């Protein structure tokens, strides 16, 4: 991103003077990645799963829900529903009751049933491994597709969740709020071979240090590369994620 980040009404936008060329941004992104990898050597996807199908279901359930709650809910469900046909044939009412505590349970139950039905109809019951095929499934958007590409198939992708959006905005690497626009902007700022790592470690930094309400700038390993560090370290933010 060239020049200063655009100012928005959100409290998580980068503040203070920060001017750099696209080349400088790419170099800074790599410095950030190296520092975060050293700081969080055990970072991993926080959802429990043993197959692409389980990850797809868990990802659908994770919208507006904590990973801990999703893991609690999916533990018994993954023993009950083992194949796409099991999920697709599930009663809407029963599945809603089983996933109720994850929130938005009606839409999530429908998304699970429809996406697994699409797997059967279009892909022989297998989860596909391309963005085009994944986003053609009902109930699967770009974020969920990138989660599957990265963690189920070991491919490159940028996963824009609330943590990633917050931190890349604070870093001044984007001024966008729309996840798709952020994804494309960061694709240009980060080498493709590093997309998946960058997503994982930035996400983990948001969970461990750069919190929405009160980021712990005093112990942040990338503070030297963050234009928001001075104001963020003094203010308790009330961020609506």
- pLDDT of residue 241 exceeding 60: no
Q: Is 27 a residue of the active site?
A: no
> What gap in Å lies between CA 88 and CA 109, rounded to an integer?
10
pLDDT higher than threshold 80 for residue 13: no
Residue-level pLDDT at 64? 93
Q: pTM higher than 0.75 for the full model?
A: yes
Angle, CA of 50, 166 and 213, to the nearest 5°: 100
C-alpha distance from residue 184 to each of 130, 137, 178, 195, 210 (Å) = 17, 21, 10, 11, 23
Q: pLDDT-derived band of residue 232, with 50, 70 and 90 as boundaries?
A: low
**Average pLDDT of the residues in 9-34:** 73
67: buried, middle or exposed (CB in 10 Å: 19+, 13-18, 0-12)?
middle
Are 74 and 58 in contact by the 8 Å Cβ rule? The answer is yes
How many C-alpha atoms does 203 have within 13 Å on its Cβ side? 18
Cα separation, 200 vs 205, in Å, equals 9
Count Cβ atoms below 10 Å from residue 14 Cβ, excluding itself: 24
pLDDT at residue 9 above 60? Answer: no
Q: Report the pLDDT averaged over residues 30-57.
A: 97
Tens of pLDDT, residues 101-115: 999 999 999 999 999
Pair 212, 166: CB distance under 8 Å? yes
Neighbours of 65 (CB within 10 A): 17
Closest CA to 130 of 64, 203, 122: 122
Percent of the chain with pLDDT over 70: 88
The answer to whether 12 is a known catalytic residue is no
> Tell me: the pLDDT tens digits for 15-24?
334 578 999 9
* Among 152, 153, 154, 173, CA closest to 164: 173
Catalytic one of 13, 118, 161, 197? 161
CB neighbour list of residue 1: distance below 8 Å, 6 or more residues apart: 20, 22, 25, 172, 173, 174, 175, 185, 189
Helices in the chain by DSSP H: which ranges? 22-39, 52-61, 67-80, 84-88, 92-99, 105-123, 131-135, 142-151, 162-170, 179-189, 195-208, 229-232
- In this predicted structure, the answer to whether residue 7 has a pLDDT above a threshold of 80 is no
CATH numbers and ranges of domains, the chain? 22-43+158-232 (1.10.1670.10), 52-151 (1.10.340.30)
Kindly report the average pLDDT of the chain as a whole number: 90
Residue entry with tokens 């308790």: 236
Query: With 70 as the cut, is the pLDDT of residue 6 above it?
Result: no
Q: For residue 229, what pLDDT band results from cuts at 50, 70 and 90?
A: confident
> Of 12, 118, 143, 225, which residue is the catalytic one?
143
Average pLDDT over residues 145-155: 98
Please give the average per-residue pLDDT across 46-73, as a whole number. Answer: 97
């Amino acid at each position: 991103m060239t020049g200063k980040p655009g100012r928005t009404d959100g409290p998580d936008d980068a503040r203070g003077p920060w001017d750099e060329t696209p080349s400088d941004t790419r170099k800074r992104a790599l410095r950030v990645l190296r520092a975060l990898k050293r700081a969080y050597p055990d970072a991993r996807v926080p959802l429990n799963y043993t197959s692409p199908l389980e990850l797809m279901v868990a990802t659908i359930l994770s919208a507006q829900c904590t990973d801990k709650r999703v893991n609690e809910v999916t533990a018994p469900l993954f023993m009950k529903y083992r194949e796409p046909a099991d999920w697709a044939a599930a009663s809407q009412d029963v599945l809603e009751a089983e996933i109720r505590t994850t929130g938005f349970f009606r839409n999530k139950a429908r998304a699970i049933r429809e996406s697994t039905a699409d797997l059967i109809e279009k892909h022989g019951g297998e989860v596909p491994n391309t963005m085009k095929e994944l986003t053609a499934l009902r109930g699967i958007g770009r974020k969920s597709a990138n989660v599957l590409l990265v963690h189920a198939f070991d491919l490159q992708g940028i996963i824009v969740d609330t943590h990633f959006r917050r931190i890349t905005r604070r870093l001044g690497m984007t001024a966008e709020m729309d996840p798709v626009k952020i994804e494309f902007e960061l694709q240009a700022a980060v080498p493709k071979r590093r997309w998946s790592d960058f997503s994982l470690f930035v996400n983990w930094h948001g969970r461990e240090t750069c919190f929405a309400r009160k980021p712990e700038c005093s112990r942040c390993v990338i503070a030297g590369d963050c234009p928001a560090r001075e104001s963020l370290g003094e203010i308790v933010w009330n961020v609506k994620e």
